[in-house]
Chains A and B, each alone.
Chain A
Amino acid sequence: MAEIRNYTMNFGPQHPAAHGVLRLVLEMDGEVVRHADPHIGLLHRGTEKLAESKPYNQSIAYMDRLDYVSMMCNEHAYVRSIEQLLGVEAPIRAQYIRTMFDEITRILNHLMWLGTHALDLGAMTLFLYAFREREQLMDCYEAVSGARLHATYYRPGGVYRDLPDTMPQFRESKWTKGKGLKQANEWRSGSLLDFIEAFAQDFPTRVAEYETLLTDNRIWKQRTVGIGEVSPERALQLGFTGPMLRGSGLAWDLRKKQPYAAYADLDFDIPVGTNGDCYDRYLVRMEELTQSNRIIQQCVTWLRSNPGPVTVDNHKVVPPSRQSMKEGMENLIHHFKLFTEGYIVPEGEAYAAVEAPKGEFGAYIVSDGSNKPFRLHLRAPGFAHLSAMNEMVKGHMLADVVAVIGTQDIVFGEIDR
């Protein structure tokens, strides 16, 4: 009898379903995966090391680029960690703005995941619909921060600017005019909060559409039910967090277990799965879309009725307003000091984590009492999830590898850092 050997093949790093630059070395037995070996590091940019050479505030811009589909959540973890060290707390309005944008980020991330996951498994339409909604939310990002993706909006001690009272509007053109123009600008006539409210009111119908397209679809079920099962015990041992853990049936969510920002005052539920397979994790994330939408609605209501400052009144940490900077010597000195040297952070260490869309994203800072971190470590949820790749795909077919990569919601920016 002929000798049969397993066949080793590369999946990625240029594979469109590898979600970035994942290189997976697969040992195949026919079409069955015997062993999967993920190789990482192709997107390593040395963010942690880079942060050691910059004043604290300057690294905020680099936090966006870690998990580049949930930008503001990364900033939130970093900023909270600095706030812990400094002993300042953002004003309540800033906390609500952060909460609202964390949830907008969650929807952004889950829509991206939904679109690409479905596209990988053969459902093209959903990708287009998901991006339509993402576009609206990225306009919210742009309205507050000036950038659609890499916002650099959170600051230790609050957020950079308050929410704007106007939204940019479509201009008349050859194709968009009259009724079409009016329709395009329908949500944009008021403030940003009006826009977000209109979006939040409309969003449940959109989620219902996504569900019609996927939830009962037989092809979708064949591709996801029973694929990549993880038991609750194993999920804990592997260090899973976020929807990956909740899909296995453990109701662990930092927003409930260690409430930060304004989550303690808000009403929302934590969905959990039962079987821990790709389909359950899909259901969990779909429900999270709805729950995030609920949180956003509550935040909008609160923010409407509670105007106030969005940064602390401590000019050792937050620069004074432009007007006062131009008028007062003292403020000008603060301004120059903050933008050159930054602020001095007391010696010590702090770890702060947020429930990012993918799981627990944490920032650990060691300070030696200077204006730059002595060491910054970032805990990326994707890293723990990717480590379980072998366990999740072993014994499955090659095509299921794509389903597992999708369900892990891998983004290489945060894994390679």
Chain B
Amino acid sequence: MSAITSYLKSLALLELLGGMRVTIGYFFKPKFTIMYPEEKTPKSNRFRGLLALRRYPNGEERCIACKLCEAVCPALAITIDSEQRDDGTRRTTRFDIDLFKCIFCGFCEESCPVDSIVGTDVHEYHMEERSESVITKPQLLALGDRLEQQLAADRQQDAPYR
């Protein structure tokens, strides 16, 4: 008996029709895709994108050239040179990050004692020459300046967890 019913079921293409009902249902439902790049999916405040260097509100760069980020970077993507400035403070003279090496692990941000190096929420960037993969200190600071508001807000929101 069961053999006959299963034969009849198979003849009636029931399971195929069931599958089609699911797909046709989605045809009439609102789409779950978005119109990238005009529209973007939301990003968490912990997002680790392109790296940047921040400044204090008075315009002084935060980085004190402690080289913790250089030491902790598993991909050896960061290169730092430093010297003492005339006012007696220690600052970097060179701060290069090789984006081809960086694996965006976020350890540098975790290690930085003065919240200088941070992961921004920029995830789309391009370069035209291979050599442009190394971003330098002015570029990092400029990016930090551009996004400072967002960066500060994100850090503040996440501060209780760190």
Contacts and interface: CB of A to CB of B under 8 A. Distances in A.
B23 A59 contact: no
B74 A339 contact: no
B44 A142 contact: yes
B42 to A, nearest CB: 4
Contacts, number: 124
B106 A152 contact: yes
23 contacts: A54-B74, A57-B107, A58-B73, A60-B105, A61-B74, A62-B103, A65-B103, A139-B41, A139-B42, A142-B46, A145-B106, A146-B47, A152-B107, A160-B110, A168-B43, A188-B42, A217-B16, A217-B19, A322-B162, A325-B113, A336-B66, A336-B68, A339-B68
A292 to B, nearest CB: 22
Interface in B1-56: 10, 15-16, 18-19, 21-23, 30, 32, 34-35, 38-48
A339 B69 CA distance: 8
A332 interface: yes
Interface in A147-205: 147, 150, 152, 160-162, 164, 166-171, 173-176, 180, 183, 188
Interface in A317-354: 319, 321-323, 325-326, 332, 335-336, 339-340
A144 interface: yes
Interface residues of B, number: 43
Given A175-B35, A217-B19, A150 B157 contact: no
B72 interface: yes
Main secondary structure of the interface of B (DSSP, over half): loop
Given A142-B47, A146-B48, A213-B19, A58 B39 contact: no
Interface string B137-153: 00000000000000000
Contact of B38 (A61, A174, A180, A336): A174
Contacts of B107: 57-58, 61, 152, 339
Contacts of B19: 212-214, 217
Interface in B109-131: 110-111, 113, 119
B35 A173 contact: yes
A162 B161 CA distance: 6
Nearest to A140: B44
A212 B22 contact: yes
Interface string A263-278: 0000000000000000
Contacts of B113: 325-326, 332, 335-336
Contacts of A336: 66, 68, 113
B161 to A, nearest CB: 4
A143 B72 contact: no
A164 B161 contact: yes
Contact of B15 (A143, A216, A335): A216
